[in-house]
């Protein structure tokens, strides 16, 4: 049995998904063209802070909260017609999560290169 490494999975995901910069994400948010989604664990948000305009959806619940047929679907929380822009702490989990959303059928999906670390150095407000 051959097990793919997490790095292999991330590398494969990065070939299939769109990666954007924190500045590109800032423009999308300010032009109301996306849902900015923080997939970090709640403990990370409490310790590091949050991006002012981001929706928090923990990585473990992402597929369930965005599936209209799931009992966990968050009706009205996000605009399902807009681009889903994901970020985590550094960009690895969000790459895998973005690929999963593409696999689910979402067409407008991207993740932020460098994750929260990059966003902290950008125009976004941290709360």
Which pLDDT score, from 0 to 100, does residue 74 have? 87
Is pTM beyond 0.75 here? Answer: yes
| Tokens, residue 43 | 């403990």
pLDDT in tens, 50-101: 999 999 999 999 999 999 999 999 888 899 999 999 999 999 999 999 999 9
Say if CB 40 and CB 62 are below 8 A apart.
no
Q: Rounded CA gap, 40 and 111, in Å?
A: 13
Q: Is residue 47 one of the residues assigned to a domain? A: yes
The confidence score (pLDDT) of residue 91 equals 96
At residue 1, the pLDDT reads: 87
Residue 85 lies in a domain: yes
Chain position carrying tokens 């941290």: 126
Tell me, yes or no, whether 34 lies in a domain.
Answer: yes
Rounded Cα–Cα distance for residues 106 and 114 (Å):
22
Residue 103 lies in a domain: yes
Q: Is the pLDDT of residue 112 over 90?
A: yes
Q: How many domains does the chain have?
A: 1
Residue-number span of the structural domain to which 21 is assigned: 6-120
Half-sphere exposure of 92 (CA within 13 A, CB side): 6
CATH code assigned at 116: 3.40.250.10
> Is residue 127 a part of any domain in this protein?
no
Question: Tens digit of pLDDT for each residue in 8-62?
Answer: 999 999 999 999 999 999 999 999 999 999 999 999 999 999 999 999 999 999 9
Considering the domain boundaries, does residue 63 fall inside one? yes
């Amino acid at each position: 049995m051959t097990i793919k490494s997490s790095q292999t999975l991330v590398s494969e995901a990065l070939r299939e998904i769109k990666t954007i910069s924190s500045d590109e994400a800032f423009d999308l948010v300010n032009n109301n063209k996306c849902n900015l989604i923080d997939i970090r664990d709640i403990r990370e948000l409490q310790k590091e802070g949050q991006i002012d305009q981001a929706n928090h959806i923990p990585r473990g619940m992402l597929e369930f909260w965005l599936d209209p047929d799931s009992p966990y679907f968050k009706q009205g929380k996000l605009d399902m017609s807009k681009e889903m822009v994901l970020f985590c702490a550094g960009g690895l989990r969000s790459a895998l999560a973005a690929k999963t959303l593409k696999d689910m059928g979402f067409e407008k999906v991207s993740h932020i290169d460098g994750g929260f670390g990059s966003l902290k150095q950008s125009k976004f407000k941290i709360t």
